[in-house]
Amino acid sequence: MAEQKDTIAFSDELKAYINEWKHKEGNLIMILHKVQQEFKYVPREAADIVAQMTDVPLAKIYGVLTFYHYFKLKKPGKFNIQVCLGTACYLKGADGLIEELENVLGIAEHEVTEDGLFSIEPVRCVGCCGLAPVLVIDDEVYGKVTKDQLPGIIAKYQ
């Protein structure tokens, strides 16, 4: 069992969820959501386990995973900074926020900082358009964000 350290384990809750859902129709997306909730992304090994537990071919699972933007195949930073690029936020300069974040953190969109702490993820409308431009870190929403505020916001998580 030399591979041991790479393998991942599903929590009992996740296993129970999959067992409950595997007989329902149209379950795959729901199961993958639950997996991503547990790991913050869908690791390859997790997809394997889902395939085994549900008898759905791995190819179909990846077909679904790659179709939907919501599913992540790469591990995000501990704090994933979601920058809204919906129309309202775009008009209020969200693209500038992304540029500035890239400068401050030294990474591009969808990359993770070396210390594994931060990643930048552009997202589409988080539904707080009245607060545009908006960014979300760990479910905390920052509204009417300006470039100057970014270093301060990042510092809170360092």
Partner 1 sequence: MAVTNYILVCGGTGCESAKADAIYQNLIHASQTEGVSETVQIVKTGCFGFCEQGPIVKILPEDSFYVQVKPEDAEEIIKEHVVKGREVKRLLYNKDNSKKHAKVEDIQFYQKQFRIVLRNCGFINPEDINEYIAREGYAALEKVLFEMTPDDIISELKVSGLKGRGGAGFPTWLKWKFTKDIDDPVKYVVCNADEGDPGAYMDRSTLEGDPHSVLEAMTIAGYTTGANKGYIYIRAEYPLAINRLKLAMEQAREYGLLGENILDSGFSFDVDIRLGAGAFVCGEETALLTSLEGNRGMPKPRPPFPAVKGLWDQPTVINNVETWANIPVIILRGGEWFAKIGTEDSKGTKVFALTGKIRNSGLVEVPMGTTLREIIFDIGGGIANDKEFKAVQTGGPSGGVITKEYLDTPIDYFHLQELGSMMGSGGMIVMDEDDCIVDVTKFYLGFTVDESCGKCSPCRVGGRTLYNILDRITKGKGEMDDIDKMRSVGHAMTKASLCGLGQTAPNPILSTLRYFEKEYHAHIKDKKCPSGKCKELISYYILADKCIGCAACARKCPVAAITGERRKIHRIDQDLCVKCGICYETCKFDAIYVG
CB 92, min distance to ligand FES, A:
8
Whether the CB-CB separation of 122 and 98 falls below 8 Å is answered with yes
Q: Please, which of residues 60-99 interact with partner 1 by CB under 8 A?
A: 63-64, 67-71, 85-92, 96, 99
Contacting positions for ligand FES (CB under 6 A)? 84, 86-89, 125-129, 132, 134
126 binds partner 1 (CB under 8 A): yes
- Long-range contacts, 23-31 (Cβ 8 Å, 24+): 27/54, 28/54, 28/56, 28/60, 28/61, 28/64, 29/64, 29/68
**Which residues make beta-bridge pairs with 82?**
121, 136
The conformational region for residue 88 under phi > 0 = left, psi -120 to 50 = alpha, else beta, is alpha
Residue choice 1, 5, 6, 26 for contact with partner 1 (CB under 8 A): 26
153 binds partner 1 (CB under 8 A): no
Interface ranges with partner 1 (CB under 8 A)? 25-30, 32-33, 63-64, 67-71, 85-92, 96, 99, 103, 123-132, 140-141, 143
